[in-house]
Amino acid sequence: MEKGTLALAITGGSDNWSPARWKARFGEVCADRRVVLLPDDACAPDDVAYAAVWKPRHGVLAALPALRVIFNLGAGVDALVADPTLPDLPVVRVADADLTGRMTEYVVLHVLAHHRRLFALRADQQRHLWQPREQWAAGALGVGIMGLGVLGADAAQVLRRLGFQVAGWSAHPKSIEGVACFAGREQLSAFLRRTNILVCLLPLTPQTRHILDRALFAQLDRTSPLGAPVLINAGRGGLQVERDILACLDDGTLGGATLDVFETEPLPPDSPLWSHPGLVVTPHNAADTDPDAIAAYVAAQIARFEAGEPLQNVVDPARGY
């Protein structure tokens, strides 16, 4: 019997993420089935059993009546679930050791850069200033991670190993050795009050949109040697109120920030975020997914599904992540 077609609907991304490259990769790992690229390739909608997507145009998936599973080619599904016509089918997202390792590198890099005052030292260097700045032990700082999922839990453990006082905040109670775990809105303030470097690895949902605002920053601890607290957001841009971040950097509520994600991406050239001296901007590449690994992951999930085994990393539609 003919195996169900795999349709690809992919928008945006670097050269490595070009739709043509994805088609070539899936052609290799799904050699026994037809792989089509939407909207370019002709295909009978009734033949499409699987879709592998990144930010697909709204309505594309609803037009595939025989679709059985949707594979999101990244960890965050906010762009996908924003489609009001999204069919009621299992959505599998990426949870992958390679991606997790890359995000942990990013988080540790930026926590250490703020902790070790790298940006001030770099500015001193540019002015030829030999100016040793006070340094303190990692244990003097509380690092608080919003989102203790696949990514947050891994970063928490590595930061703990480095000696930081690590806390985490999630929707449901958790227990991670050496990490002070807080859950739910009722424990958010207690979590913030012990945090000097706030790392956000939340998914974007109606509950988390714009959670990173002035009222939240004002609750962070200011009594550590770092002084004003620091924000690192690698979750999604919709989690942050960008005008509040700028105003809080200006008035000292925040001492610095690293942002990988923005309300509008690419960040517009005239955005004031580019040039604020307290801000490090990276272009949404904290943790790129390795396309070869993900194509193999999707092929393995399809094989599981067709063998009657449960799919892995399925999104809960009620939670939206």
| Only segment of 44-52, 121-129, 163-171, 290-298 that touches ligand NAP (CB under 6 A) | 163-171
Residue 284 annotated to the active site: yes
Catalytic residue among 236, 276, 304, 319: 236
Nearer to ligand GLV, 115 or 284 (CB): 284
CA distances (Å), origin 297, targets 49, 55, 65, 94, 117: 17, 19, 24, 8, 39
Nearer to ligand NAP, 286 or 299 (CB): 286
291 makes contact with ligand NAP (CB under 6 A) = no
- Asked if 321 and 77 count as a contact pair (C-beta separation under 8 A), the reply is yes
Span 167-226, contacts to ligand NAP by CB under 6 A: 169-172, 201-205, 207-208
Residue 40: alpha-carbon gap to chain centroid: 29
Q: How close are the terminal C-alpha atoms of the chain, in Å?
A: 35
Q: How far is the CB of 269 from ligand GLV (least distance, A)?
A: 22
72 makes contact with ligand NAP (CB under 6 A) = no
Q: What is the helix (H) or strand (E) element at residue 134, kind and residue range?
A: none
- Asked if 150 and 95 count as a contact pair (C-beta separation under 8 A), the reply is yes
Residue 236 annotated to the active site: yes
Q: Based on the number of CB atoms within 10 Å of its own CB, is 189 exposed (0-12), middle (13-18) or buried (19 or more)? A: exposed
- Asked if 218 and 245 count as a contact pair (C-beta separation under 8 A), the reply is no
289 makes contact with ligand GLV (CB under 6 A) = yes
Active site residues: 236, 284
Q: Interface with ligand GLV by CB under 6 A: which residues?
A: 74-76, 94, 289
* Chain contacts with ligand NAP (rule: CB under 6 A): 75-76, 95, 103, 147-152, 169-172, 201-205, 207-208, 234-236, 260-261, 284, 286-287, 321
